Structure 1
Amino acid sequence: MEALTEDEVRASFVNCTKGEAQRINLPGPLDAVYWEHLDFLGWRDPRADQRAYIVLPWTNGPVGITLRAPQPKRKSLVRSSMCSICLTVHSASGVASFVAPKAGPAGREGNSVGNYFCTDLQCSRYVRGTLKSDAATFMEESLDPAERIHRLRAKLEGFTRSVLGDVLV
């Protein structure tokens, strides 16, 4: 992923107002982000844990999506869940159902889509093996890292298309 400025990140959001985008708490200094190791920039709002954001490269520039997360659950090392984007197995608290309002008129009418993401939104690091899951169960994959990255990008593209709906960006 190419490096983005604060203005580019804020301008990328498609499912919130411009005013809401200006009030988003960014994940810290963007010049400290290792952009070359990311397929998307994902973070939880440090001031409001139920808010989360992802920004990803798209055809005509970056697309940002606001997400809502459920209330945090108690950590369980007995139960496991799998992220739908990177297919990493986590303890039950390591995966959450995030919901995104749809872009455009559909979103203003209250329509939304959801998907299971790693709660820390660090899918890019999990598929590259630079971050390990805390799950008691581990699934060995036969795909090499490049194939896992390609699969992650395809799944993320599908989710993004469902958020965009009829709104073309």
Structure 2
Amino acid sequence: MLPIDDARIRASFINATQRERAAVTLPAGFATLDWDALDFLGWRDPKLPKVGYVVVEAEGGLVGVMLREADGRIRTRPQCSWCADVTLPNDVVFYTAKRSGASGRNGNTVGTLACAGFECSRNARRLPSVAYVGFDVEAARQRRIEALREHVAGFVHTVREGS
């Protein structure tokens, strides 16, 4: 992911009001992020514990989505829909996002299971275990990174379809 500034981040949100955009708290350590290790920028708002943000380069530009963690607990240990990490090194929660445009203003939402702290980029970059003799772990890691990018872009596209 290419480095971006806070003004572009705030302007990128497709499902947030002007007031919500202005209130966005950027992630801790924003100035020192390792942009090369990120497939998307995702973080939880420290002032609003149930709110998260995802910003991705998709569909010809920078697109941001504001998410809310759903109330209630999931009964079983879920798998993240984005990184599909089977080792589950962190919590996975159900997030909802208002669709963009008139659809979102009418209350339509879309949901996804994602890593609670958006650790997906780190999870996808871990070397997988060797599945068999001759297994190419680096190629498998690259496939996981590409799949992560596709899954996040697909979710953002679904949110945008509401407009």
TM range (shorter): 0.7 to 0.9
2:145 aligned with 1:152: no
Matched positions, count: 157
SS of residue in 2 equivalent to 1:27: coil
- Match for residue 98 of structure 2? 101
CA displacement at 1:60 relative to structure 2: 3.2
In structure 1, list runs of 5 or more residues that go unmatched.
131-137
SS of residue in 2 equivalent to 1:15: coil
Pairwise CA RMSD of aligned residues?
Answer: 2.7
Query: Counterpart amino acid of 1:18?
Result: Q
- Match for residue 44 of structure 1? 44
Q: Deviations over 1:19-50 (max 9, x none)?
A: 21010111034221111110100001112210
CA displacement at 1:85 relative to structure 2: 0.5
Structure 1 outlier segments of 4+, above 4 Å: 71-74, 140-143
User: 8 Å contact 1:6–1:30 — kept in the other structure?
Assistant: no
In the TM superposition, 1:20-35 aligns within 5 A as 20-35=20-35
Query: Counterpart amino acid of 1:83?
Result: C
User: 8 Å contact 1:13–1:21 — kept in the other structure?
Assistant: yes
Percent of matched pairs sharing the same residue: 34
Alignment partners' CA distance in 2, 1:122 and 1:5? 21
Alignment partners' CA distance in 2, 1:42 and 1:101? 17
CA displacement at 1:166 relative to structure 2: 4.9
Task: Answer 1 or 2: higher relative contact order, Cα 8 Å, separation at least 6.
Answer: 2
CA displacement at 1:124 relative to structure 2: 0.5
